[in-house]
Amino acid sequence: MGPGPSCVPPEVYKALSKPTLGHLDPYFLKIMDELKSLLQQVMKTGNNMTIPMSGTGSAGMEACFVNLVEPGDRVLILINGVFGMRMQEVASRLGAQVDVVEFPWGTPVIPETVEKRLGQADYHILAVVHAETSTGVRNPVAEIGALLKNSGCLYMVDAVTSLGGIEVNMDEWKIDAMYSGTQKCLSCPPGLAPLSFSEKAVDRLNRRQKKVPNWYLDLSMIANYWGKNRVYHHTAPVNMLYALYQALMLVVEEGLDNVIQRHQQNHGKLVAGLQEMGLEMLVEAPFRLPMLNTVKCPADIDELAVRHCLRSEHRIEIGGGLGPLSGKIWRIGLMGHTARPENVDRFLAALKGAL
């Protein structure tokens, strides 16, 4: 019940254990096609460039930047937590001219502030984290995207923690590059990063002045493996792709709207129980993530000792705070298969005892 990985359903473990096929086996290629279609459904996009990258969510982040950024490009990054800072680090290493707009940790990005900054320069990319895992904040991604209407600026969104837990609508929100991870609300083991590029982003990739500087993450080559030509690039992590296929099937079978509602209902149950204990949430209600709940630790309580007690005596894992929130909050995950009422009940009883 920490910030990820989440609990993995038995059906996904079973899929993971199936015999390994060759990455160019005709039957495996059919699985790839269906997997691509499932990703498009869950991401709500018609983008042809929608694939799972080999690597965790951070590989998805790096793939987006390394394919779309060239030295000297002006990039605006909105930061209100650890993963916005990581975006800044990745873009800077690629030689981008990086500007940032920072907001207090535990509070959302303010679109009006972003709009003012956009009026001060022409940017190649605007990047933001949808669900900031370090703080439990849901950023207003749709509203930020609306600011880029009729703009040449690409809109990049980190959906690592949000995909499969809250609404994500890539096409309607006019997102050009989006990446996620398998180990959060999709409840698949870590190791793949679902990624999607709009036609606008693909065009930017195709018009690069120089080669993509990272060979392994070069989408101009990887696209030929996931496309009709099936040109070998690197050996696909076959069994992990089985697992993601099954995890996405579970989401689609339950119904994406039902999955989102389940996360919200269990979040409500958790918050009510925490408030009964006199505990306070870090994030204001409208901006809270249902899948990543941040709770203020009382001043007279050792937050690390509570986490150790939960792990050793109750076999429950939760996370602590990062950066300026270190030692001040707990991060409680209700992601994917973990988001069930019996888990909430077990956790609340254990936390009460630990306190």
CATH assignment of the domain containing 155: 3.40.640.10
**Start-end of H helices in 102-208:** 111-118, 141-146, 199-206
Question: Is 122 found in the same domain as 18?
Answer: yes
Show the tokens assigned to 294: 């941040």
Question: Is 49 found in the same domain as 129?
Answer: yes
Last residue of a domain, one of 203, 228, 253: 253
Is the residue at 2 inside a domain? no
Question: Is 156 found in the same domain as 298?
Answer: no
Name residue 215's amino acid: W
- Give the SS3 label for residue 23: coil
Is the residue at 34 inside a domain? yes
Is the residue at 3 inside a domain? no
- Which of these, 262, 351, 253, lies nearest to 303 by C-alpha position? 351
Counting other chains too, the contacts that 304-313 makes at CB distance below 8 Å and 24 or more residues apart are 306/330, 306/351, 306/354, 306/355, 309/354, 310/350, 310/351, 310/354, 313/350, 313/353, 313/354
Question: Is 349 found in the same domain as 272?
Answer: yes
Q: With a cut of 70, list the residues of the chain below it in pLDDT.
A: none
Determine the distance from the C-alpha atom of residue 161 to the mean position of all C-alpha atoms in its chain, rounded to a whole number: 4
Question: Is 349 found in the same domain as 212?
Answer: no
| Nearest-angstrom CA–CA distance, 168 and 130 | 9
Q: 78 to each of 12, 84, 263, 277, 316, how far by Cα in Å?
A: 35, 6, 26, 35, 33
The predicted model scores a pTM of 0.96
Question: Is 102 found in the same domain as 86?
Answer: yes
Last residue of a domain, one of 238, 253, 268: 253
Residues 160/83, Cβ–Cβ less than 8 Å? yes
Show the tokens assigned to 165: 């837990």
pLDDT at residue 150, rounded to an integer: 87
Question: Is 210 found in the same domain as 94?
Answer: yes
| Nearest-angstrom CA–CA distance, 319 and 100 | 27
Question: Is 323 found in the same domain as 247?
Answer: no
Domains in the chain, number: 2
Question: Is 200 found in the same domain as 53?
Answer: yes
Question: Is 203 found in the same domain as 178?
Answer: yes
Q: What is the DSSP letter of 19?
A: P
Is the residue at 5 inside a domain? no
pLDDT at residue 238, rounded to an integer: 97
Question: What are the tens digits of pLDDT across the range 29-80?
Answer: 999 999 999 999 999 999 999 999 999 999 999 999 999 999 999 999 999 9
Question: Is 30 found in the same domain as 96?
Answer: yes
Question: Is 339 found in the same domain as 244?
Answer: no
- Segments forming the whole domain that contains residue 273: 256-354
CATH code: domain of residue 338 = 3.90.1150.10
Angle CA(255)–CA(28)–CA(230) in degrees, nearest 5?
A: 110
Is the residue at 312 inside a domain? yes
Residues 12/243, Cβ–Cβ less than 8 Å? yes
Last residue of a domain, one of 200, 226, 253: 253
